[in-house]
Amino acid sequence: MPCANCQTRTCITGTGEMPAGCPERHREKFEPQDSEKAFVEYAQQIRDKNFDRLTELIEYAGFMEYTKIGLAGCIGLHDELRVISGLLQKAGFTVSSVMCKTGSLQKKFVGVPARHRMTTQTGYNIGVIACNPVAQAFILNREKTDLNCIIGLCAGHDSVFMKHSQAPVVTLIAKDRSNGHNPASILYNFYGDNFFSRRPNPKGAFQYNARHIRLVDILRMIRRKI
């Protein structure tokens, strides 16, 4: 499906020619239900208020009439987990939280070489206890949560957790050690412009680059384009 490179965006505009392979060509026609209309109205209200993600989660959970929220956290974000848990409880939800090291499963028992039991190949301190996203999901399933939230699980661990979670899952914090847990930030700076060919905010990115770019960077870009 060519959505990533689509120029017509007929799904939004309702006009223009659909590109080959467009899923819009074969979509089924249906009549909106009352619940769908209500959600559309709710979503519009959220956009108008320009909420941060945590507030949006609280509003969404309230709209869906969820009462019990599960938090699956990374040990490296234990303080963030504590703060988020407190805020959700203050908002009136029952909160169940479980850390990634639950079960205390030693890495040597799952085949991790001794040289990688204390640090990763990239040098991060991680300890001898293995992360256990399956157990995190099973524990929150046992707690019968209405909605589960990921707090900084590693890439891959988060997908395993989602696979085994019975409740729907929302990612509150996506782990990115190099960018303050904001993976999209790389797309909005010099590297995003020149290595990802993306400039979502042309004026902002251009002004930033103009102030910070060095002569050697310009020469490298010229050589790269040549």
DSSP per-residue codes, 88-157? HHHTT-EEEEEETTTT--BGGGGT--GGGSSB-TT--B--SBPP-HHHHHHHHHHTT-SEEEEESPPTTH
For residue 20, the 8-state DSSP code is: T
- Render pLDDT for 145-182 as a digit per residue (tens, 0 to 9): 999 999 999 999 999 999 999 999 999 999 998 888 88
Residues 8-16 have a mean pLDDT of 75
**Nearest CA-CA partner of 147 in 84, 64, 44, 87:** 64
| Domain ranges across the chain | 36-175, 182-226
Residues 208-222 have a mean pLDDT of 65
Q: How far apart are CA 47 and CA 120, in angstroms?
A: 40
Q: Hey, which residues does 41 pair with through a beta bridge? A: none
Q: Hey, which residues does 95 pair with through a beta bridge? A: 69
- Given a cut of 50, whether residue 71 has pLDDT beyond it is yes
- Render pLDDT for 101-128 as a digit per residue (tens, 0 to 9): 999 888 888 888 887 777 766 666 677 8
Does domain 36-175 correspond to CATH entry 3.40.50.1860? yes
